[in-house]
Amino acid sequence: MAAVTVTIMTILGLPVSTSQAVIGAVLGVGLVKGIATVNRRTLINILIGWFLTPVVAGFISLSLFFIVHLQYVPVQ
């Protein structure tokens, strides 16, 4: 199902995350088979990763910006 979703979104020219599509498909199959089949710890770890990745990337980018800015912009 994830492949179908990614293909349709690509044909429509819409951005799509393949990793999110695969996780969604696996989670959907798990829910169909019964909620007990879903490994909650793994799901929580994935969600934490999805949340923290852009936050950490933002902090790293901001830090690098200030390092470069202080190094190359002359003080007046």
pLDDT, tens digit, 9 for 90 and up, residues 2-32:
788 889 989 999 988 888 888 888 898 888 9
Please give the residue that has the higher pLDDT: either 63 or 22.
Answer: 63
pLDDT at 54 over 90: yes
Can you read off the two tokens belonging to residue 60? 């790293």
**Rounded to an integer, what distance in angstroms lies between the CA atom of residue 34 and that of residue 52?**
29
DSSP state of 14: -
For the segment 43-68, the average pLDDT, to the nearest whole number, is 95
